Structure 1
Amino acid sequence: MSRRTKVGAAALVAVALTLTACGGPAKNDTGLKGADQAVGKADINPQDASKVKDGGNFNWPITVMADNWNNWQLDGTVGDGADMQRAVMPNLFQQTADAKIEPNKDYLEEAKLASTDPQVLEFKINPKAKWSDGKPITWQDFESMWKALNGTNKAYEVSTTTGYEDIEKVEKGATDLDVKVTFKKKFAEWEGIFSPLYPKSMFDSPEEFNKGWVDAPKVTAGPFKIGSIDRTAKIVTVVRDSNWWGDKPKLDSITFRQVDRTATADAFANGQIDWYDIGSSIDNFQRAKTTPGAVIRQAATADYTHLTFNGADTSILKDPKVRVALMKGIDTKAIATALLGQMLKGAPQVVGNHYFLIGTEGYQDNSAVAAFDKEAAKKQLDDLGWKLEGDVRKKDGKDLVVRLVIPTPNPVSDQISKLTQSQLKEIGVKIDIQAVPVADFFKQYINVGNFDMTAFRWTSSATPISDSKGIYYLDPASTNQNYGHIGSEEVNKLLDQANGELDKTKRIALANEADKKIWELGAQLPLYQAPGAVCVRNNVANFGAVAYANRPYDYIHMGFTS
């Protein structure tokens, strides 16, 4: 299951797909690429608009319905919800396949860094851009968003304050369509801030922000609008918005349909969905190779699977030395090989960094402090007073039993949890696997810290440092996405410095210093980078394995060739 990280200062930055690069589809009679995969190449069957059929409905699988249609509220950041939100909300910036960010001309005529000292941004809004209630998009939407997200009013249950807490003021420029943003502290990865944008009315009160958009978006401004939301059937349909001012979408509609992970291949074969994420599932990979009308497409993706640890005082893993000892007892290479080995013709990508993924600028393996070493793990636990008594270690009469919470049904999470359980048993740690309904997983367990360990996927972005600040920054007043409540003043200081450093080389160096400290704290254990393979119908154009161009997907140009 996927939880999306923050892009720049924006939660789930929504950006349009730019068809700048593509590669040929992976042949169905071969394995997928592993660590040898090139970064920045999309595999989407790019087609000119004239070759894409006008009309049709695209069936899109989701794992869960949106918990909140407000992307900025703590419960609104689940990946499936974001994919639906991006089709109907203003995405001010667009992220390309090769991890670059550009202003989206449908909303912004210009976005520029006007000054560096003090740092000032200037936005010029497209005069055609309007909300679905007929109101123009203006500087006031930006101002209201900043005031709600800057952290000064704790009643707003925000998923991130990154970037917004550094702003001194948001002002009207020459007209209502000109926005001037002045920072009190420098914010380096500013591209993507205020995206997705929401209307001023959503920020009017904490109650409206937190609960007003739980059931549906009240105002939209995208190429599509909400057609229907059926919570009983677990289906959301978006349809062309006739008031859209940009290029007309090729599709009449997109139907987002909840499908259990175990049933996606069958749903595709039966015509219920038009694509699915192969992810780490060998079963889905094998089915994709043999299903008529299917093609496998692959591109290096900003997606990795990990284990998150809970360091709160109520958790048995509150001691960072215990967490690091457990990490030393987990063989990530063995887990990656078990999940991906049968699919890949190259080696699985075992990740050694929390900020930068393999093949991207800035990546270096900082995982040495937690490298797999069973004997070192045993000794460390011994030294900490956790002595082996029978099969399980004890300290002060308490067994070292760790509750690992996973979503179900999800065969990948199930396999990861059992492999982890087996490996940690060898060092005297008992793993109690608790499988909870997928719809409850984040809202009732992860978001509120109701776990000792858990496993899910993070999706990174073109702005990985600010993207991840809310995950690793320890703020006693707000969880953000630091679900395990693990951090330190030292990490906070390094993250503040990195986010305020305009020199990219220095910024990357600071982020890597922070990453080393995060490894020492035992916050999260990255397992492997996803191969980035999807199964899609062979007559689908401008969609597939999009690399970094998923914020948003190209909802306007995707469609069918026949």
Structure 2
Amino acid sequence: MSYDGVGLCAVMRSVAFLTAGALAVPALAGCSSEDPAGRPLAGQDIAPAVRAQVADGGTLRWAVDAVPETLNTFQADADAATTRVAQAVLPSMFRVDANGRPERNPDYLESAKVVETEPKQVVLYKLNQAAVWSDGREIGAADFAAQSRALSGKDTAYWTARNAGYDRIEKIERGANDLEVRVTFARPYTDWRSLFSPLYPKDVMGTPDSFNDGARRKLKVTAGPFTLKKVDRKADQVTLARNPRWWGHRAKLSEIVLRAVPRDKRAAELAAGKLDLAEIDPEAVRRITLAAGPRSTGTPLMGPGSDRTGADALRPPAVSSGSDSEAADEETGAREKQRGAVAQYARQQTALQGFEVRKSLEPAYTQLALNGADGPLADERVRRAVARALDREALAKAVLRPLGLPAEPVGSHLALAGQAAYADNSGALGGQDTAKAQALLADAGWVRGGPVKEEKKEGEKAAGSKGEKGAKAEKESAGGDDGTYIVGDDDKAGDETGREQDKEVSDEDARNHAQDGRQYANQNLKQGGAPGAYAPKGTAAPAGAEINRLAKDGKALTLRFVLPSGPGSQALHTVADRISRMLAKVGIRTETAKVADESYFKDHIASGQYDLALYSWPASAFPATDARPIYAKPVPAADGSLNVEQNYTRVGTDQVDQLFDQALSTLDENESRGLIRKADARIWAAAGSIPLYQRPQLTAAKKNVVNAGAFGFETPVYEDMGFLAKGAKAAASASPRK
């Protein structure tokens, strides 16, 4: 999912794909004059300043996760850094505004509109007459035509990752003059604004060789406020330089250096003066916030050595480590090392006083995925029971409230608050209701205290597993039984859950809840919480557990919860912990397995080796195009396998597919939005995935960096970024274009 008829108020047909007793999908929001899309939950936080207040020149050092493997955004291994480069150096006919909606980019387009609908849809683009490539050639129809051919999917020699929309184009022609481009569609396409953003020159798109290899490591011709100066893989950085041929507002910065820095190293790099701007995790947020506060009194509340008591510090080496002189020497060395670490931490904290945290919400949301391919979750009643057990508001508060961000659950799979297609359709499934969740489980045949056959030994297929191969892979990734915990054997876990959810999020929560990164976060599950809630795999269940567990056909209802285990994972594990307790309250046990980051998506999510999982999808300004493969009904492939596209939950319906097709093919924008909202209501009702919360966006910025930070929905304006001029002050709100 990339960045990004039936009337809207028509009575919806019954949801035929749900079994008896299912909730009817209610009439959708939007039938009244009030726009259900609302406003974004959080705005930008970029220290806005008018251009006159921004100094001319300077180099902005901006952290990225990695130097991009390719500079071609249409290839499979393109990443966020690829997009960042493309936004700065290539044309985009449309940008995304602060509400997550597409808007015409005046630097490239004077206008763009549908000029014919019969017999075929025709879009006429009128280009900015000043728009030229860096080699001096005008941007024109030849570039549009080359990109259309390359991405149409008709020539398999082009290694393209996606061709949505381009496959509907019939022809591209020059208009009345060189500044006009006529695009004729073979089939109507509502998301035509998603095309040609970015636009590559015909030099890149013209041949398979230039497309496949020519644009991976270099871009000879560009057309943005910046040009690509150098990709230095030894130094792990990409340098962008101000484009002297740029016809728009002249870039304020001389250079932007994108440096690859791991997220857990960014606080140290900021303190060392090697970065000016970086997305950070909550631990770094805490450090910068502390640095901005009153100076430390020397009390070792945090940082290196914070776990040592005063008695430890005063105890003589011979006493603390024994009378052995060698042990005393070791203790002395350890204390010297500790003093050095404390001094380094203090120096870093002083340096971090020059930074501030800018925060918003990412145009992305975290969801709970339920694998409906087989096992207990193949029964939609069990999936709906899982959903009805969840207190989504409590989960959102756990992650977002400690960060001072709006803690509202996400109400749509296909858009976020503020976007045109957004409406809260969660009512199609229903909110948290323990009694209804238990009734759904009972209706599905899961009986409390039913007989359970003896569990098979390690390495054999366990209840809810996806096969011996998957179990073995999980064990290897998680490092054996140490990575597995069971929640739900003890009924006390459920009792404690209710009390836990009623508590306000504490300061400890604020220190522990973490942002879950670009698609997921990764760290070890922290044991704790309700007594009896966790036990290593193989630990005997407490007395009475057999009476309280749900069983069917001799198997206990146990769901395997797969999570990544790398650095920075506390957010997902905190959320998974709370979800497991909520499920325990309705009688569903969870077995949490930690797996290596590198295998999380490939070996578990994409291959279906999980029951429950947490991962994120970005929101798109074009959900009819970009969300369709995520929720498409899986179909058998020619080789006998199942083609799931990006639908990793394996839950799909013909009705949802039909609604996406209709939404793509109507040129009535209101009708298209109504169809998208109907599709979302049906996705909710199928309960294959449960949106939880919009992800936090946390950015550390040097205090004099302006027009940059937590961008929210809006596409960054690279030419306005820079450093505040001497004597100037950033405004709470301002238009940088003045």
> Any residues of structure 2 matched to 1:385-404 within 5 Å, and which?
389=452, 400-402=558-560, 404=562
% same residue: 33
**Whole-angstrom CA distance in 1 between matches of 2:117 and 2:138:** 30
* Cα deviations by residue, 1:350-408 (Å, 9 ceiling, x for unpaired): 11211232355554322231633445445544544566745686767697443524373
**Whole-angstrom CA distance in 1 between matches of 2:62 and 2:172:** 38
Q: Which amino acid aligns with 2:77?
A: D
For 1:561, the equivalent position in structure 2 comes to 724
For 1:14, the equivalent position in structure 2 comes to none
Shift of 1:450: 6.4
Q: Which amino acid aligns with 2:94?
A: F
User: Which region of structure 1 is more displaced relative to structure 2, 518-527 or 298-307?
Assistant: 298-307
Which of 683, 686, 696 aligns to 1:521? It is 686
Q: Which amino acid aligns with 1:357?
A: L
Q: Which amino acid aligns with 1:416?
A: V
Shift of 1:312: 5.1
User: Which region of structure 1 is more displaced relative to structure 2, 179-188 or 149-158?
Assistant: 149-158
* Cα deviations by residue, 1:423-463 (Å, 9 ceiling, x for unpaired): 4455434344334336x766776566665544333332444
Q: Does 1:172 align with 2:169?
A: no
CA contact 1:158–1:480 (8 Å) conserved in 2? no
Q: Which amino acid aligns with 1:512?
A: R
Tell me: CA distance 1:380–1:533, structure 2 relative to 1, closer, same or farther (3 Å). Answer: same
For 1:5, the equivalent position in structure 2 comes to 2
For 2:401, the equivalent position in structure 1 comes to 341
Q: Secondary structure at the match of 1:372?
A: coil
CA contact 2:64–2:278 (8 Å) conserved in 1? no
Of structures 1 and 2, the one scoring higher in RCO (CA 8 A, sep 6+) is 1
For 1:59, the equivalent position in structure 2 comes to 61
Normalized per residue, the structure richer in strand is 1
Tell me: CA distance 1:495–1:108, structure 2 relative to 1, closer, same or farther (3 Å). Answer: same
Q: Which amino acid aligns with 2:198?
A: P
Q: Secondary structure at the match of 2:682?
A: helix
Shift of 1:416: 3.0
User: Which region of structure 1 is more displaced relative to structure 2, 386-395 or 525-534?
Assistant: 386-395
Q: Secondary structure at the match of 1:520?
A: helix
Q: Which amino acid aligns with 1:86?
A: Q
Shift of 1:297: 3.6
TM-score, scaled to structure 1: 0.79
Which of 596, 602, 606 aligns to 1:436? It is 596
Which of 303, 328, 349 aligns to 2:388? It is 328
Tell me: CA distance 1:406–1:83, structure 2 relative to 1, closer, same or farther (3 Å). Answer: farther
Q: Which amino acid aligns with 1:306?
A: Q
**Whole-angstrom CA distance in 1 between matches of 2:591 and 2:215:** 38
For 1:108, the equivalent position in structure 2 comes to 109
> Any residues of structure 2 matched to 1:86-125 within 5 Å, and which?
86-117=87-118, 118-125=120-127
Which of 219, 224, 249 aligns to 1:222? It is 224
For 1:196, the equivalent position in structure 2 comes to 198
**Whole-angstrom CA distance in 1 between matches of 2:62 and 2:553:** 50
> Any residues of structure 2 matched to 1:164-313 within 5 Å, and which?
164-175=166-177, 177-203=179-205, 209=211, 213-217=215-219, 219-231=221-233, 233-277=235-279, 281=282, 284=285, 287-288=288-289, 290-291=291-292, 292-299=353-360, 302-311=363-372
Q: Which amino acid aligns with 2:685?
A: E
CA contact 1:249–1:557 (8 Å) conserved in 2? yes
Normalized per residue, the structure richer in helix is 2
CA contact 1:285–1:343 (8 Å) conserved in 2? no
Tell me: CA distance 1:354–1:38, structure 2 relative to 1, closer, same or farther (3 Å). Answer: closer
**Whole-angstrom CA distance in 1 between matches of 2:629 and 2:611:** 20
CA contact 1:394–1:400 (8 Å) conserved in 2? no
Shift of 1:501: 3.1
Q: Which amino acid aligns with 1:404?
A: V
Shift of 1:86: 1.7
Q: Secondary structure at the match of 1:302?
A: strand
Q: Which amino acid aligns with 2:590?
A: K
Q: Secondary structure at the match of 2:77?
A: helix
* Cα deviations by residue, 1:15-52 (Å, 9 ceiling, x for unpaired): xxxxxxxxxxxxxxxxxxxxx98668544333232321
Q: Does 1:356 align with 2:515?
A: no
Q: Which amino acid aligns with 2:168?
A: D
For 2:490, the equivalent position in structure 1 comes to none
Unaligned runs of 5+ in 1: 8-35
For 1:18, the equivalent position in structure 2 comes to none
Q: Secondary structure at the match of 1:74?
A: coil
Residue-pair matches, total: 525
Q: Which amino acid aligns with 1:516?
A: A
Q: Secondary structure at the match of 1:458?
A: strand
Tell me: CA distance 1:233–1:501, structure 2 relative to 1, closer, same or farther (3 Å). Answer: same
CA contact 1:304–1:530 (8 Å) conserved in 2? yes
Q: Secondary structure at the match of 2:596?
A: strand
**Whole-angstrom CA distance in 1 between matches of 2:87 and 2:651:** 31
For 1:85, the equivalent position in structure 2 comes to 86
Structure having the higher Rg? 2
**Whole-angstrom CA distance in 2 between matches of 1:207 and 1:307:** 41
Q: Secondary structure at the match of 2:193?
A: coil
Shift of 1:543: 1.8
Tell me: CA distance 1:363–1:127, structure 2 relative to 1, closer, same or farther (3 Å). Answer: closer
Shift of 1:196: 0.9
CA contact 2:40–2:419 (8 Å) conserved in 1? no
Q: Secondary structure at the match of 1:227?
A: strand
Q: Which amino acid aligns with 2:107?
A: D
Q: Secondary structure at the match of 1:142?
A: helix
> Any residues of structure 2 matched to 1:446-485 within 5 Å, and which?
452-474=611-633, 476=635, 481-485=646-650
**Whole-angstrom CA distance in 1 between matches of 2:218 and 2:378:** 38
Unaligned runs of 5+ in 2: 5-37, 293-352, 453-545, 638-642, 726-738
Q: Which amino acid aligns with 2:719?
A: I
Shift of 1:159: 4.4
CA contact 1:6–1:466 (8 Å) conserved in 2? no
> Any residues of structure 2 matched to 1:39-50 within 5 Å, and which?
41-50=43-52
Q: Secondary structure at the match of 2:194?
A: coil
* Cα deviations by residue, 1:256-275 (Å, 9 ceiling, x for unpaired): 22333334344333333323
Q: Secondary structure at the match of 1:147?
A: helix
Q: Which amino acid aligns with 1:433?
A: A
CA contact 1:250–1:556 (8 Å) conserved in 2? yes
Tell me: CA distance 1:72–1:58, structure 2 relative to 1, closer, same or farther (3 Å). Answer: same
Q: Which amino acid aligns with 1:59?
A: R
CA contact 1:425–1:431 (8 Å) conserved in 2? no
Q: Which amino acid aligns with 1:293?
A: G
**Whole-angstrom CA distance in 1 between matches of 2:208 and 2:670:** 39
User: Which region of structure 1 is more displaced relative to structure 2, 364-373 or 335-344?
Assistant: 364-373
Shift of 1:283: 5.8
Tell me: CA distance 1:307–1:139, structure 2 relative to 1, closer, same or farther (3 Å). Answer: farther
CA contact 2:131–2:138 (8 Å) conserved in 1? yes
* Cα deviations by residue, 1:128-183 (Å, 9 ceiling, x for unpaired): 54445665533233223333434445675654443333333222334555321112
**Whole-angstrom CA distance in 2 between matches of 1:255 and 1:392:** 57
Shift of 1:289: 5.9
Q: Which amino acid aligns with 1:548?
A: F
Tell me: CA distance 1:261–1:327, structure 2 relative to 1, closer, same or farther (3 Å). Answer: farther
TM-score, scaled to structure 2: 0.62
Q: Secondary structure at the match of 1:545?
A: coil
CA contact 1:94–1:103 (8 Å) conserved in 2? yes
Tell me: CA distance 1:511–1:251, structure 2 relative to 1, closer, same or farther (3 Å). Answer: same
**Whole-angstrom CA distance in 2 between matches of 1:81 and 1:289:** 34
* Cα deviations by residue, 1:493-529 (Å, 9 ceiling, x for unpaired): 1112223333333322211110011112333221112
For 1:409, the equivalent position in structure 2 comes to 567
Shift of 1:104: 2.4
CA contact 1:282–1:340 (8 Å) conserved in 2? no
**Whole-angstrom CA distance in 1 between matches of 2:146 and 2:359:** 40
